[in-house]
Structure 1
């Protein structure tokens, strides 16, 4: 049976599980405080609804499940989720632009899309209920990280088709904050507005916050003298060493993680406690996470590293079931919110992993080691080449202004040794003067892979 995109068939009952607007934004949502048993009971009911809803309203899911020989009626307990096939970006790209929607276009209130830099863009959509849920969960993350109703919030995430800017914007408003919608770029303007408007909180990528710190220094202003007290940072992997770098740079600033991706919702899928800073709690009243082995797709246990997979439990416009994120992390028991499991720091992406002479390497590993050398800055890039049929890596990294080139070169020798002994890869280190590398205004680009360049472009 085929269905016209955006129309419904037999599942005419709308989602009964949209998140309600908080009655007191300063207090935890009731679902935040549920026990693990309560969360799993809620997940079972919502998963049952989601599987039937997707099967009956999205032809791509019906075809996928029919081909695999499974039916939503086979879902009898939470463990049965594993019998349903995974989905990924290619699954969504085949539905481009609107074939993956489960509701008529008349019920869609917003459409976002990925950049499409590595292929066909993935398109995501939201109904009124979806937007309400999204705003509520982002507000939950911000409050959890320490932002308070009444705070002024400087939003340096990019606005537009990217979900970061608008997702963060409406979440901060839902929390009861005054939002400064700066977007990314125009670093001098960012610095001016932070000085003039004196916001208590800032939202950005971690690397762009360091770029803003450089902007303060260029004006002769100490970043420690700003009004900023809370930073909620996401959209790219970052390490504990990067957190220390940011918090040291800004003095009294507290930096917390936020996680999300457009296909699952956008920012707000998981958030980090400003008190514990022990990883982001996944809001499992709306998302069911799994960790799988990225090579054989088997399900991994608690604490074991692997690829993060998500099922959204309450989405109307674009159902997402067992979606492979390619983000590498592990699941951990909940702490500040015991009913909701935590995710460890993202160590990289399975599709961004560098394989260098048989050794698997991620940029976050280099970041972790580089920031242990006081003479070297967090601004670096990895260049991969194959000049003589053998892969070679060069780390281009800036020195800090307060150190000489000779001091930085000595630190680079230590970094080179650490990369070889702790990661297992040989490399060359090129020390650069400050402000040579391009600065991030959104997601940072760390890897420049030139191994497959056409001849003549070396």
Structure 2
């Protein structure tokens, strides 16, 4: 398969320089994509029994893909496909060539396993280094990585990218909050890679020690692994005095580094299209949608060798936008996941919508949890939010938040204001919703939500 050096890329000794492909013409990018797509499809069809089986069942062959639009003829790949081929059924190279394995936790079923050969690790390091540079990090900076190391792709993905960029890496991993704060004070890193919710936990820990987070050395934050709002960006940037950019990735496709915001624009995540081919489809029927229309992100790997992934349904809801600071297209901030959406009294909503309203109410912290119950066939929602000043039960913020949620989302909620530290903290993704209903059916939910989203490009 085609996976050579990028056209116009600088030599390996200059990782701080932007790859020329980042500013290539649209024609150049699409020509490269088509060449690599054909290689990926042939590689997957000839080496992976699963792909050969589903291609044959659908009556399609890689040779039928003569232009990028023809990709829509190829069947999707789902997380269930990866699970049903556990552990090594999706590998396209002999096991002896696999130099690393990562896997999901498997909390919602059999784990998904992903394998990498040496070329995959090199490409992953390159796109992650590119992402860090886009987020403001430069060679010689110190990067504090507060993502978990191990089977989770976050820690090691960021680690290899930062080293390739020429940075000093602090592999702090997740958890041990007090130690994290001490390391930041002692080592004075320039940048941090972390989930946005855990970065706010670190801010709380700094304040508890009598330290102003804005006085820390951190000036760049690359934040990912969970949806977060513009309001939370404002909160983080004002708290730390840093530039906070969104970082996107998923282990099934590669890991962190699939897309990243550019610090100079902060207008959506540049998707590295020379390595990943994006599509937006209707989350219900899978129909391809045009750029600018809101739907589910589907990704095909273009350079992955050990485990190519064809038309993977990410379940992440966003839209494709034209390039600005780079030639490559952007994806809008992830609004949520089609499988994380909750339907309350016929209204479809995501945790990020609650977060957006919480951050607009003075006196409330961005630590919250939404509990959904059903009493006498009626859904009831309790929104528990921490106060910044410890004034538990304060009536005014609770009333304002109830009003904002009702006006913006369209549902009535009960609001409980709790003292700081009342809700559990996580060093990984925050658990925002607890659904205690005996059975939840989001009938037509995703399509109804998509129908209400704007379609114009910005």
Work out whether 1:289 is the aligned partner of 2:289.
Answer: no
> Which runs of 5 or more structure 1 residues have no equivalent in the other structure?
1-13, 454-458
- Offset at 1:409? 2.4
Residues in 1 aligned to 2:252 and 2:55: alpha-carbon distance in whole angstroms: 20
- In structure 2, what is the equivalent of residue 421 of structure 1? 407
Distance of 1:244 and 1:185 partners within structure 2: 24
Give the Cα–Cα distance (whole angstroms) in 1 for the partners of residues 32 and 379 of structure 2: 50
Which residue number in structure 1 is paired with residue 396 of structure 2?
410
Q: Does 1:52 align with 2:42?
A: yes
In structure 2, relative to structure 1, the CA distance for the partners of 1:131 and 1:18 (3 Å cut) is farther
- Whether contact under 8 Å (1:18, 1:129) holds in the other structure is no
Please give the alpha-carbon distance, in whole angstroms, between the structure 2 residues aligned to 1:395 and 1:146: 36
CA distance in 2, matches of 1:374, 1:102: 54
Q: 1:255 maps to what in 2?
A: 244
1:391 match: secondary structure: strand
Aligned to 2:456: none
Aligned-pair CA distance for 1:15: 4.5
SS at structure 2 position matched to 1:62: helix
| Aligned position for 1:180 | 170
Q: Normalising by structure 2, report the TM-score.
A: 0.93
* Kept in 1: contact 2:391–2:419 (CA 8 A): no
Which residue number corresponds to residue 37 of structure 1? 27
Q: Counterparts of 1:385 and 1:22 in 2: how far apart (Å)?
A: 56
Say which of 73, 78, 81 aligns to 1:88: 78
Aligned-pair CA distance for 1:215: 0.7
Equivalent positions of 1:37-436 (< 5 A) are 37-251=27-241, 253-338=242-327, 340-401=328-389, 404-405=391-392, 408-436=394-422
Contact 2:370–2:432 under 8 Å retained in 1: yes
Partners of 1:78 and 1:356 lie apart in 2 by 39
Instruction: Output one character per residue of 1:313-340: Cα deviation in whole Å (capped at 9) or x when no partner.
Output: 11101110100000011110000002x1
Return closer, same or farther for 1:16/1:404 CA change in 2, 3 Å cut-off: closer
**8 Å CA contact 1:130, 1:317 repeated in 2:** yes
**What TM-score does the superposition give when structure 1 sets the normalisation length?**
0.93
Deviation at 1:386, TM superposition (A): 1.0
Deviation at 1:201, TM superposition (A): 0.7
What is the number of equivalent residue pairs in this alignment?
436
Give the whole-Å Cα distance in 2 for the aligned partners of 1:22 and 1:343. Answer: 28
Q: What is the SS of the residue equivalent to 1:80?
A: helix
Q: How far did 1:131 drift?
A: 0.2
- For 2:385 and 2:246, locate their aligned partners in 1 and report how far apart those are by CA, in whole Å: 25
Q: Is the 1:22–1:136 Cα contact (8 Å) retained in structure 2?
A: no
Pairwise CA distance, 1:357: 1.0
Q: Which residue of 1 aligns with 2:435?
A: 449
Tell me, in whole angstroms, the C-alpha distance in 2 between the residues paired with 1:245 and 1:176.
30
RMSD, matched Cα: 1.2
SS class of match (1:50): helix
Whole-Å separation in 2 of the counterparts to 1:130 and 1:341 = 23
Query: What residue in structure 1 maps to residue 423 of structure 2?
Result: 437
